[in-house]
Every structure is written in C-alpha cells, then in structure tokens.
Amino acid sequence: MRLKNTLCIVLLVASVGLSACKPGSQAVATPTLEPQAVFTAAAQTAQARMTEMAAATPSSMPSTPTATIAVGTSTATMQLAATTPAATFPPAVSGSDRVEFVADLTVPDGTIFRPGEKFTKTWRLINAGTSTWTTAYSLVFFSGEQMGGAASTPLTAQVPAGQTVDIGVQLTAPSQEGKYTGYWMLRNASGTNFGMGSNADGAFYVQINVAGAAVTGTVTASGTGTPGVTASPTSGEGVVTSASLGVDTASVEETCPYTFTFTAQFVLSEAATVTYKLDVEAGIPLSLPAPTTASLSAGTHEWTYTLELTDSVSGTAYLHITAPEDVLSDPVSFTLTCR
C-alpha cells in the first residue's frame, strides 16, 4: 500500500512536468511581488497610523516609534518619525534696551493738584538701545507712589532704535496733602525692566505736590531779585477748570533791556484744542508773544513766556485762554526800573 501511494505521487509529478513541456501549451504566470514595494506601502500605512495615534495620545508615544513588516519569510523593521507639538517661547529680544529722557510734556516737577484730582503724565523718550520696542513692550510702575496708575500699559506702536516716542499714564493725586514721587520704567518682551543710564537701570519719574486749597501756579525765582508772585487761579465748571500766572521777579531795578519770565499753568477736565496767550496792560506799546493753539490731553499744562522791556514800566499781566472757552487768570503785577 505504501509502495502504491509513492508510485502515484511520482506519476503525478511526471505528468505535470510533461504537460509543462508540451508544445503549444501556455504556463499560467504567478504574479511576483517586489519586496521593496511592499515595504514602502506598508511603511506609509504605518506612518499614517502612528501620526493619528500621536495626535490622540502624544504622551504615550515612544520618542522613536518603529514598525515591523513581514513579507513571506522576510521581515523589515523601520523607524518612523514621531509627531511632536512645537514648543512655544516668548519672543526674543534682539539687541540692547535703553531709554534716554527728553522732556516732561505734561506735569512738570512740583505741579500742584487738589486731592483726588486726575491728570495725565506724559514723558518724551528716545529708544537709545539697539532693539526695536514693539507692542510687546510696556510702561510699568517701578517704585514710589503709584498714584492710581496702571501697573503695566503696553506700547501702542513700534519704536525703532534712535526714534522718539511720547508715553503717558493716567494718574490720580493722593488724598492727603504732601509731595509725591512715582518712578516708572519700560519692560521688554522677555519681561525685563530697563530705563536710563549706561546700565539702563535708571527710572524716570513724576513728581507732584498735593494741596487742599485750589491749584496755584508753580513759580521759581531766577537770578537775583525777589521771589515772584503766584496768582490764584480761576476755577469753573467747564473744560478749563483753572488758570494761573506767575512772574520770576515782581519788582526789579536793573540795567535795561531786562527780560521778565512769566509761568502760565492751566488744568483741563478733558482733552481739548486750546488757544491761549499772554495779555499785558502797561500803558505803552509792547511786543507780546503770539497766541498758541494746541490739542492737549486732560490734566495740567504749563508754559513759559518771556517779555523783554527796554524802558522803565509798571504793568499787569494775565493768562488769557480764548478757546475752548474764555478764561482769564488773576492779574500779576510787575515793575521795572531801568538804571
């Protein structure tokens, strides 16, 4: 029986071989798969699946995932690129940051306010560093009296190196009388404060006096002679809430020509376009400064006028605001005696 089965197998193999060699017969081709193509297709499928898994559960993915692919009796192991979310960092600061102070545009040092009175302090500064100040930079309170100002106020526009910018902050005078100073700096996009000086560590500041009575002008004596007279301001319910005028020397005997210096101050309850001038009554023709028109923010504003006289004279001066409403300060008297 075993011999019979073996014989059958031999005959079957021989038959197949003879049919393959028979003229006119066609062998049926068996498709041949290229291993490399199979590997490529499989890898692409695995890569897509691994990307989906990384998006769904990124914390569970290995740092370098692999896939093993079998084709027949051959296997191939391939490394797949893991999908990792990009890290987010604060914008870098390119260059150095430093401030150069130019001027106090509003609220000169020593300006007097009523308790609780609101005002705007504006500094004119230069970007004295090498980086561009962007809107990611801010004006920040540093020390002293904050006076109700915001702890941080972003810049509203870019300031390239070497350019000038006017930066302001809304403040409120403290409720108690006294002298108050608040120090401010800038902060860059990386969160580092900077200011003036060679080390960029100097703060710029606002300095005011708070008095319970009405606001009065700020007058400083200059040169020799007696301290000047400070006029009481006018007060009202309109946009211009006060106006005052002072003079550096009320009475002087000097070689002529001689120049008087007048200091004018007024307070606005809101932003407005203001026209103002110096009016003088002296009984003689005088060459007076031309009226000034400016768009100003709410708060206290101060200007200086000079008046050169060549002859002895006694006169009275006023700060006269003609717009947005007509306001006249109290009079200031002055006398010049030429030697």
**Tens digits of residue pLDDT in 171-185:** 999 998 889 999 999
Q: How many CB atoms lie within 10 A of CB 316?
A: 12
pTM score? 0.41
**Has residue 36 got a pLDDT over 70?**
no
Q: Count how many domains the chain has.
A: 2
For residue 59, being part of any structural domain is answered with: no
The residues pairing with 119 across neighbouring beta strands, listed in sequence order, are 171
Res. 216: pLDDT tops 90: no
**pLDDT over 70 percentage in the chain:** 65
pLDDT given for residue 151 in this prediction: 94
Same domain, 238 and 292: yes
Write down the mean pLDDT value for the chain: 75
Where do we find the tokens 């120049």?
259
Look at residue 40 and give its three-state secondary structure: helix
Examine the domain organization and report whether 103 and 180 are in the same domain.
yes
Question: What pLDDT, on a 0 to 100 scale, did the predictor assign at position 199?
Answer: 92
Number of CB atoms found within 10 A of residue 143's CB: 12
Asked if residue 72 belongs to a domain, the reply is no
User: Which residues make Cβ contacts (< 8 Å) with residue 5, sequence separation at least 6?
Assistant: none
CA angle 203, 124, 264 (to 5 degrees): 110
Question: Which amino acid is residue 35, in one-letter code?
Answer: P
Are 103 and 147 in a shared domain?
yes
Question: And the tokens for 259?
Answer: 């120049």
Q: Is residue 9 part of a domain?
A: no
For residues 145 and 207, give the distance between their C-alpha atoms in angstroms, rounded to a whole number. Answer: 9
The CATH number covering residue 283 comes to: 2.60.40.3880
Residue 110 shares a structural domain with residue 163: yes
- Is residue 11 assigned to a domain? no
Would you say 232 and 211 are in contact if contact means Cβ atoms under 8 Å apart?
no
Q: Confidence band (pLDDT; 50, 70, 90) for 160?
A: very high
Does pLDDT of 76 surpass 70?
no
Q: Residue 108 sits in which domain range?
A: 99-210
Model confidence at 227: pLDDT above 70? no
pLDDT tens digits for 287-312?
888 888 888 888 889 888 888 888 88
For residue 324, being part of any structural domain is answered with: yes
Are both 176 and 273 inside the same structural domain? no
305 neighbors 264 (Cβ within 8 angstroms): yes
Q: Which residue has the higher pLDDT, 27 or 173?
A: 173
- For residue 191, the model assigns a pLDDT of 95
Specify the pLDDT at position 146.
95
Question: What pLDDT, on a 0 to 100 scale, did the predictor assign at position 29?
Answer: 47
**Domain-embedded: residue 16:** no
Of 56-60, 136-140, 152-156, the poorest mean pLDDT is in: 56-60
Q: Are residues 276 and 178 in the same domain?
A: no
Residue 206 shares a structural domain with residue 136: yes
φ/ψ (deg, to 5) at 283: 80, 0
For 66, residues 6+ apart whose C-beta sits below 8 A from its C-beta are: 77, 78, 79, 80
Whole-angstrom distance, CA of residue 31 vs CA of residue 38: 13
CATH number of the domain that residue 121 is part of: 2.60.40.10
What's the rounded mean pLDDT across residues 62-79? 52
Q: Is residue 299 part of a domain?
A: yes
Asked whether residue 275 falls in the same domain as residue 193, the answer is no
Q: What is residue 222's predicted lDDT score, i.e. its pLDDT? A: 29
pLDDT, mean of residues 215-223: 34
Q: In a 3-state reduction of DSSP, which class is residue 335?
A: strand
Is a pLDDT exceeding 50 seen at residue 328? yes
How far, rounded to the nearest angstrom, does the alpha carbon of residue 265 sit from its chain's CA centroid?
29
Statement to judge: residues 171 and 113 lie in one domain? yes
Answer yes or no: do 105 and 201 share one domain. Answer: yes
Q: How far apart are CA 220 and CA 227, in angstroms?
A: 7
| pLDDT in the model for residue 51 | 58
Give the bridge partners for 317, in sequence order.
280, 332
- The residue type of 75 is T
> pLDDT at residue 161 above 90?
yes
The pLDDT value recorded for residue 150 is 93
147 compared with 14, residue with greater pLDDT? 147
pLDDT at 114: 85
Highest mean pLDDT among 84-93, 235-244, 291-300: 291-300
260 and 201: one domain? Answer: no
pLDDT greater at residue 220 or residue 314: 314
Specify the pLDDT at position 28.
45
Residue 152 lies in a domain: yes
More confident residue, 87 or 212: 212
Average pLDDT of the residues in 128-155: 95
Question: Does 250 share its domain with 323?
Answer: yes
Reply yes or no on whether the pLDDT at 267 is more than 60: yes
